[in-house]
């Protein structure tokens, strides 16, 4: 799951390879404009799938960090039996697309749903867009739900995890180029976050589980 030896995430390889092959074919056919477009797409793929090292902060064991890079759009207080808060984070192409585990826990209820890739402001975004969701449950039975929903993206959400995997805080678990991440937090959670905050995966503290 963790690709910390490479400057590009493994999900970049196929897009770069396709663009390179297309550029060669276009050059052979003297379609220079299309060859340039393919080369630009190759550079774009390398940029959006960049895989930088990050400093894993030495927070307490019960600390919960951001799983994504982006900006906190809002924090909702829920009237729900299981979850008390919903934190919504928007990720864009200029953000690092690599997802990181927010706290050490086991994966359960992993789900992928295919759909459209409408802009986040579209009326049917919530109903139709492609998403992946899962829950993390720790040894104290705290449950957190994470939903990654695509917006305008040429690549799907890719998660390199399976149900019952034991994950370690800070490790890489997939990619999402552009989309919305919703994090559902339990009543025992103490938030250390405000709307409008810029967050960095594995580096920004969202709060603590008690």
Residues 82 and 156 in one domain: yes
| 14-39 pLDDT tens trace | 999 999 999 999 999 999 999 999 99
Look up the CATH number of the domain holding residue 173: 2.70.70.10
User: Residue 3: pLDDT band by 50, 70, 90 thresholds?
Assistant: very low
* Domain membership flag for residue 6: no
* Domain membership flag for residue 85: yes
Would you state the pLDDT for residue 57? 67
Residues 89 and 40 in one domain: no
Would you state the pLDDT for residue 58? 67
Residues 82 and 105 in one domain: yes
Q: What is the mean pLDDT of residues 74-101?
A: 94
User: Could you give the CA distance from residue 9 to residue 92 in angstroms, rounded to a whole number?
Assistant: 17
- The pTM of this model reads 0.90
Residues 42 and 70 in one domain: no
Residues 43 and 69 in one domain: no
Residues 38 and 110 in one domain: no
Instruction: Give the structural domain span for 177.
Output: 63-209
């Amino acid at each position: 799951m963790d690709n910390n030896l490479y400057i590009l995430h493994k999900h970049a390889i196929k897009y770069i390879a396709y663009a390179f092959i297309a550029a060669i074919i276009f050059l052979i056919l003297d379609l220079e404009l299309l060859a340039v477009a393919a080369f630009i797409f190759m550079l774009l793929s390398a940029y959006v799938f960049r895989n930088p090292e990050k400093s894993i902060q030495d927070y307490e064991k019960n600390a919960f960090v951001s799983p994504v890079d982006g900006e906190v759009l809002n924090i909702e207080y829920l009237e729900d039996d299981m979850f008390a808060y919903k934190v919504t984070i928007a990720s864009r192409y200029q953000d690092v697309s690599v997802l990181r585990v927010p706290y050490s826990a086991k994966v359960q209820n992993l789900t992928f749903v295919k759909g459209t890739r409408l802009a986040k402001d579209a009326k049917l975004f919530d109903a139709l867009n492609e998403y992946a969701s899962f829950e993390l449950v720790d040894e104290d039975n705290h449950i957190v739900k994470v939903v990654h929903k695509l917006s305008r993206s040429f690549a799907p959400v890719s998660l390199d995890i399976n149900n019952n995997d034991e994950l370690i805080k800070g490790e890489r678990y997939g990619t999402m180029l552009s989309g919305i991440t919703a994090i559902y937090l339990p009543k025992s959670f103490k938030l250390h976050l405000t709307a409008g905050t810029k967050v960095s995966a594995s580096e920004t503290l969202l709060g603590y589980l008690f």
